Structure 1
Amino acid sequence: MDLSVMFFGADDAGADTDHAATYRDVLAVAQEADRLGLTAVWTPERHFQRVGQVFPSPPVLSAAIAATTERIQVRAGSVVLPLHHPLRVAEDWAVVDNISAGRVGLSVATGWHSTDFVLAPGHYADRRERALRDIPLLRRLWAGEEVEFTDGTGKPVAVRPQPRPHSPRLPIWITSSGNPETWVTAGRLRTNVLAATIGQTREELAEKIRRYRESFAAAPEQLGTTGRGTVTLMAHTYVGEDDAEAVRTAGAPLRRYLKSYVAQTAANRTDDGRAAALTPEQTDQLAEFALRRYLKWGGLLGSPDRCRRVLADLRDLGCDEVACFVDFGLGRDEVLAGLHRLAALRKDV
């Protein structure tokens, strides 16, 4: 099983936040993950929120990561595809692929937050359909096919994206927030799957992986795909010196991060209103409950022995890669120390 680093953003400070320092931290962690032999570094796409302020453009940040690392895979986790023209996605990531000498991969997300879609307001209602429709198109563009679009005069014109990517095949994941049908769709399209351990039981996850494998096996061969899909699971990660030190170090930052996520959900205009109705005391209780649940299932939070057992369990469930979510509020030194202890577990999983 592969181990990777996932950034998802815990920058919850005000306007005086030193974003330049945050980028330096991201690059430092990516470079150390490269030296330690981890598989990939994932960066998200997030817009207009206090959380994740430094992640509006995965290809721009990925270009910097690609230029300052040597072998680690450079991936988007995720590209919100309905916000972008697929031609632009193909062009941007072809640049990163050339800089990295073929280390690019990306996960496609449909998007969820209504505010994000000020970038493409007409694409919100049918965002899922648009994302799934554009995946085969993105594969064709990556392969260098000429595709017809409408130009500035309203007439059709055939175009071929430039530059040509370094790698002839673009590894694609579909990001799942928990809907079992997304796993089936990923199998049908022969993409990989990027999901999270959060929000589901071990049994629910096992069933989703089973359905994905069945759907993938039954699907016909498609352009740019392989014979077996990859299941990548994101998990909040801090491998501590022991269990007590891990909880002591990661507990408070993770509680703050969880509360900021609740606030972000409450600001979504399609939310059912339950998040917005929570009192501060209820939000605190919810964050504490979530933390305790992570310590029992789904989180890589604890001693090396505990985290080794969690990884072995996920491997046995059919997980191919764990994307270790490290930037939920820890400092750079703490992240790097945990990363070294994580890398030491690779030989066991």
Structure 2
Amino acid sequence: MQPRLPTWVTCATDPALFERTGTGGYNVLTSLLGQPLEEALEKIGLFHAAADKAGHARDSRTATLMMHTFVGQDVDDVLDTVRGPLTAYLRAHVALMQTMVKSLDLQVDINEPKWADYLASYAFERYYRSGALIGTVTSCLPMVDKLLAGDVDEVACLIDFGVGTDAVLESLTHLAELKRLVQDESLRMERVLTEYLAERLPGACPTLSVRLSDSLSADHPLPIR
């Protein structure tokens, strides 16, 4: 039994709500629908600062960021899979369309099909590059690093945005691998080195692999043979 159930407050664009959530000792849930990543990270910073000021321990709270997620083996294949469903999803999100029109200083009617289609296509290109976990395990790692640097504690992966069930289930294997690499630095280094060498030693694939052993001190001779 828990004396108090963990509670998340959903916050979007109001910085004051992030601060009140932190002051109250609650967890926060936000997304990038209607705000760029940099703005969301600033508000998460306000949340943590308010919680600290109120005396809440850092490990007693969680900042959660919801992100559209699809991880696969090949970037081009991933984009082919998600482009249609995610574009349709974004097109249906009226608030996002309105925010984008405002940010671009456009005088258009988002209810007109031609403008709605154009904005949805533009939103997809911008969104998948800077507001989603869409790509391969390796290509998604920099985004995760940015989130960690911005004091995001966890990512709520939104996977049901219109992609077929079989493709989504298959992608979970790659998503699990991404999670493992984020949690284990040595595994991450092994993967990065393997891919780096594979690009430069194509003849060694698919047998090429890298395994890290115990670290050596700076003055220790390298075991080269």
TM-score, normalised on structure 1?
0.46
Deviation of the 1:219 alpha carbon = 1.5
Residue in structure 2 matched with residue 28 of structure 1 by the alignment: none
Deviation of the 1:276 alpha carbon = 7.2
Q: How far apart, CA to CA, are the structure 2 residues paired with 1:236 and 1:199?
A: 14
Residue in structure 2 matched with residue 339 of structure 1 by the alignment: 172
Does the alignment pair 1:231 with 2:63? Answer: yes
Residue in structure 2 matched with residue 208 of structure 1 by the alignment: 43
Q: What residue ranges of structure 2 are gaps of 5+ in the alignment?
A: 99-106, 183-225
2:171 maps to amino acid: G
**Once the two structures are superposed, what CA deviation does each residue of 1:317-343 show, in whole Å capped at 9, x if it has no partner?**
111000011011011111111111001
Partner SS state of residue 174, structure 2: helix
Residue in structure 2 matched with residue 322 of structure 1 by the alignment: 155
Does the alignment pair 1:176 with 2:44? Answer: no
* Aligned counterpart in structure 2 of residue 258 of structure 1, from 90, 97, 102: 90
2:180 maps to amino acid: K
Distance 1:211 1:337, change over 3 A: same
Bigger Cα Rg: 2
Residue in structure 1 matched with residue 138 of structure 2 by the alignment: 305
Q: How far apart, CA to CA, are the structure 2 residues paired with 1:168 and 1:188?
A: 19
| Equivalent pair of 2:19/2:47 in contact (CA under 8 Å) | yes
| Equivalent pair of 1:240/1:246 in contact (CA under 8 Å) | yes
2:149 maps to amino acid: D
Q: Which consecutive segments of 4 or more residues in structure 1 shift more than 6 A?
A: 263-266
Distance 1:256 1:277, change over 3 A: closer
| Equivalent pair of 2:97/2:120 in contact (CA under 8 Å) | no
| Equivalent pair of 2:67/2:132 in contact (CA under 8 Å) | yes
TM-score, normalised on structure 2?
0.70
Question: Is the helix fraction higher in 1 or 2?
Answer: 2
| Equivalent pair of 2:12/2:31 in contact (CA under 8 Å) | yes
| Equivalent pair of 2:34/2:96 in contact (CA under 8 Å) | no
Q: What is the identity percentage for the equivalent residue pairs of Structure 1 and Structure 2?
A: 37
**Once the two structures are superposed, what CA deviation does each residue of 1:59-108 show, in whole Å capped at 9, x if it has no partner?**
xxxxxxxxxxxxxxxxxxxxxxxxxxxxxxxxxxxxxxxxxxxxxxxxxx
2:27 maps to amino acid: N
| Equivalent pair of 2:97/2:119 in contact (CA under 8 Å) | no
Q: RMSD in angstroms over aligned alpha carbons?
A: 2.5
Deviation of the 1:262 alpha carbon = 2.5
Partner SS state of residue 345, structure 1: helix
**Once the two structures are superposed, what CA deviation does each residue of 1:122-161 show, in whole Å capped at 9, x if it has no partner?**
xxxxxxxxxxxxxxxxxxxxxxxxxxxxxxxxxxxxxxxx
1:314 maps to amino acid: L
Does the alignment pair 1:282 with 2:82? Answer: no
